[in-house]
């Protein structure tokens, strides 16, 4: 599996790093799972919740989520994190919702109608979401990946590439 982060939208990278900052656990594998939880967006792009809800309403199923789960599972395996996404699902969800609430507060316009996603109150939360350059987001993401993979003793498959090169 090859992930060329030079072609990625920086939103997925920045969101992963923000979710990691919002994560309260010290377990390096759980933190790696939080960082990588939206890695499928490297392939599919960021499909926002209202869009997925509209597709689901039209076709009465969720083909986008099915594709995302399959891609995410392949990335999980290729990155050497076998089962981490499922094992730390609650930790990921908590960090992701906190990061989403911070992004909504700091970066997004008011939503014209609710997405139907309940997020925590972050009016007084210290973390901030700051627009980032693609290079900055990519550097922070890859740095955190290497740090956490090493700490968690995760060994990616030989075919797992990031940023045009094989991970050490």
**Any idea where the domains of the chain sit in the sequence?**
2-157
pTM of structure: 0.81
> In the chain, how many H helices and how many E strands?
8, 3
Mean confidence (pLDDT) of the chain: 82
Homologous superfamily (CATH) of 2-157 is Hypothetical protein af1432 (1.10.3210.10)
Q: What is the pLDDT of residue 10?
A: 59
Taking 70 as the threshold, does the pLDDT of residue 21 lie above it? yes
Q: pLDDT by residue (tens digit) across 39-55?
A: 888 888 777 777 888 88
Comparing CA positions, the residue from 145, 95, 142, 147 lying closest to residue 122 is 95
Q: What percent of the chain is modeled with pLDDT above 90?
A: 31
Calculate the CA dihedral of residues 104, 141, 53, 114 and round it to 10 degrees. -10
Cα atoms in the 13 Å half-sphere on the side-chain side of 66:
6
In the chain the first and final C-alpha atoms are separated, in Å, by 15
Q: What per-residue confidence (pLDDT) applies to 65? A: 86
SS3 at position 136: helix
């Amino acid at each position: 599996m090859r992930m060329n982060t030079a072609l990625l939208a920086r939103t997925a990278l920045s969101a992963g790093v923000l979710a990691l900052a919002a994560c309260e656990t010290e377990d390096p594998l759980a933190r790696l799972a939080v960082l990588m939880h939206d890695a499928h967006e490297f392939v599919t792009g960021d499909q926002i919740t209202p869009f997925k809800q509209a597709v689901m309403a039209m076709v009465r199923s969720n083909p986008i989520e099915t594709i995302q789960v399959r891609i995410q599972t392949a990335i999980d395996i290729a990155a050497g994190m076998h089962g981490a996404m499922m094992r730390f699902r609650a930790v990921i969800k908590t960090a992701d919702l906190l990061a989403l609430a911070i992004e909504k507060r700091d970066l997004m316009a008011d939503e014209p109608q609710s997405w139907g996603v309940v997020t925590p109150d972050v009016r007084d939360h210290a973390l901030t979401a700051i627009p980032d350059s693609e290079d900055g987001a990519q550097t922070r993401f890859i740095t955190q990946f290497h740090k956490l993979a090493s700490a968690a003793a995760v060994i990616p498959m030989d075919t797992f590439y990031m940023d045009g090169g094989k991970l050490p």
